[in-house]
Amino acid sequence: MSDLFASSEASASSRLSAASTFDASPFESVPTFADVEPGDQQRWTTWPAITPSERGPLPWPDWVVTSAGALDTELGILKTGKEADVFLLERAVPDDPTQRTLLAAKRYRDSDHSSFHRSGVYTEGRSTRNTRDTRALAKKSEHGRAVAAAQWSFAEFDALSRMWELGAPVPYPVQVNGTELLMEFIGSDSGVAAPRLAAVRSDRAELDGLFDQVVDLMRIFATAGFAHGDLSAYNLLVHDGRVRVIDLPQIVDIIANPQGLDLLHRDCVNICDWFTRRRVERDAEELFAEMLAASYA
């Protein structure tokens, strides 16, 4: 189970350095779009510049824009966080309305610009196979800080990919490139983000259904041997009546991490306390027992 983390951390540095090189052969016949130039807050799509391992799980959803002629347009900021900021991005081929999608671009900061200081709790039990990276991380060198920031983006990309393949309600991870993770935007076509569960005002029957959805997604994680590690009503979105879970860089291996069970228990307490405060009483210990049973099934 800890291979998920080992693979993401081992490849973070190599992917970071390889981001500018790729095999151009599949794109030899792509038109040059000589009459189009990126404008303000625009860039050419980064899709062709990344390796296959940095793209989301196959099959790619129909809405994923893979054309080398697409432009990425930054539309604004969706969320600021302790370790990363999330921006709204449009990826579209000029003059082709059938090739347009909105993406959430999560960009991780290095340790000099991050206020996220709890990473050690979540990274226990993970390994870094690249010895140069291990030394750089220990020395907190410039290279080490870059590797550390990229590790979070690749860890979240790998976690999203794994959970997507298992059927968990997570945003589809489109690609990862250095410290930037592009994923499915959960919201309207006009760019209005789905509300967090914490902002939802529902009656008891609706809340009962939302709680059941949260338990279902926690069970998928637990069955695979993982806990979200920081689950709360603030990283659960509700879109068209469906709960989606976000913010997965700290996903925890329940067995390999010495604090894994404590973090799973905290997830259960956070969720049950939130629903109980809204007069939908739920027992955290009962939920924890259910998750434990799922993890050992």
Per-residue pLDDT tens over the stretch 103-136? 999 999 886 544 444 455 655 555 544 555 444 4
Q: Read off the amino acid at residue 104.
A: A
**pLDDT of 236-258, one tens digit each?**
999 999 999 999 999 999 999 99
Residues 6+ apart with CB under 8 A from 37: none
Coil vs helix vs strand at 160: helix
Please indicate whether residue 175 or residue 137 has the higher confidence score (pLDDT).
Answer: 175
Residue 247 is among the residues annotated as catalytic for this protein: yes
Residues of the chain with pLDDT > 90: what percent?
A: 71
Choosing from 133, 158, 247, 253, which is the catalytic residue? 247
The burial of 113, by beta-carbon neighbours within 10 Å (0-12 exposed, 13-18 middle, 19 or more buried), is given as: exposed
Outline where the chain has alpha helix (H).
3-18, 119-123, 131-139, 142-165, 204-223, 260-277, 284-295
Show the domains of the chain with their CATH numbers.
42-188 (3.30.200.20), 194-295 (1.10.510.10)
Lowest mean pLDDT among 50-64, 141-155, 175-189, 252-266: 141-155
Catalytic site residue 112? no
Question: How far is Cα 37 from Cα 194, in angstroms, rounded to an integer?
Answer: 32
- Contact at 8 Å (CB) between 245 and 208? no
Of 158, 230, 253, 267, the active-site residue reads: 230
